[in-house]
Amino acid sequence: MIKNIVLAIDGSVHAQHAQTMAIDLASKYDAQLTLVHVLTHDHPSTEFERMAEVEHLSDSKQPRVSEKENTYSAVARFLGSTNDSKDAKESRIIVLLGEQIIDNASKSAHKAGVTSITTEILTGDYANSILEVAKKTDADVIVMGRRGLSNLKGFVTGSVSHKVSQRAECSVLTVK
């Protein structure tokens, strides 16, 4: 029986397909759905920048502050930014896009009838962060896209989905 599902989403096409699958599973099994987005600690990819334009994320919009940590500050530290720099703007966009991705997935899940939804927006290593949430929530399955928005270095060091599937203590469903 599936009681707890962790959905890792990054805004990629594969993640959108994984989102559809996870929401369907959560709805059918009346399972807890935990939405996880790990903020990129690289400079935004062209896909990310295009998403920011589509979502009309302006300089005036400020990220929400999480209870644990101001995620904007965390990303700014990753990028080594100062308040007046281009990196600070990129950090703000990264956080705002992460919030938008989570909000959209949450709305889709509610619309599909999923009643128990939690969200996590984290910083840090992508695979480790997903695995920590899966362990914390006692996940029965992690659902994620086979490929994400990561840069080329993912081909050299191994993909996030590969790392998660190799190290997870539960089942992992990777979706194309």
DSSP track, 38-95: EPP-SPPPHHHHHHHHHTT--TT--PPPPSS--HHHHHHHHHT--TTSHHHHHHHHHH
Of 67, 89, 87, residue with least CA distance to 79: 87
Q: Is the pLDDT of residue 9 over 70?
A: yes
Claim: this prediction has a pTM higher than 0.85:
no
> Pairing mode, if any, of strands 32-38 and 4-8?
parallel
- AA letter at 47: E
Fold type of domain 4-175: Rossmann fold (3.40.50)
Average pLDDT over the chain, rounded to an integer: 80
Query: What integer pLDDT is reported at residue 73 of this predicted model?
Result: 56
Mean pLDDT of 2-6: 98
Under the banding of pLDDT at 50, 70 and 90, the label for residue 55 is low
Rounded alpha-carbon distances, angstroms, from residue 56 to 44, 49, 89, 100: 16, 11, 14, 11
Lowest mean pLDDT among 26-30, 73-77, 84-88, 128-132: 73-77
Higher-confidence residue of 148 and 124: namely 124
Query: What integer pLDDT is reported at residue 59 of this predicted model?
Result: 47
Interatomic CA distance for residues 26 and 47, integer angstroms: 28
Inter-helix orientation angle 86-111/13-29, to 10°: 30
